[in-house]
Amino acid sequence: MRSSDQSSMPPPHLFSICDAQVPKDVVDDIQARHLLKKILVKSHVERASMQSVLKHAYLCGGMDTIQRESSFSYLQQTQTSLQTQLVQVQNMLSNGRAHKS
């Protein structure tokens, strides 16, 4: 282990009293690290339940809620804006037809 790696990791005798961290160089998949971080929590109250582990995006092949919100928020805002514009255009067209009738 390099000396810089040692300073970022807690000493071995502290592993039993603190939550474990998963370094990027050990597990490079962001979903796997996210799941392991939720599992490797010392407090059983704060640790992920078996149900949430089994539903995690890493095991289900998707994104968890937080990632989904951050990844697609721009697309959702754009979609909402386009839907609003479409309704306005439809209203203008139907108003134009009403005036011609």
Under 8 Å CB-to-CB from 8, ≥6 apart: which residues?
Answer: 23
pLDDT more than 90, % of the chain: 16
Query: Residue ranges of the domains in the chain?
Result: 1-62, 65-101
pLDDT given at position 3 = 47
Angle at 91 between CA 86 and CA 93, to 5 degrees: 95
Query: How does residue 2 score in pLDDT terms, banded at 50, 70 and 90?
Result: very low
For 57-72, write each residue's pLDDT tens digit.
888 877 655 566 666 7
pLDDT tens digits along 11-52: 555 555 566 777 788 888 888 888 898 898 888 899 999 999
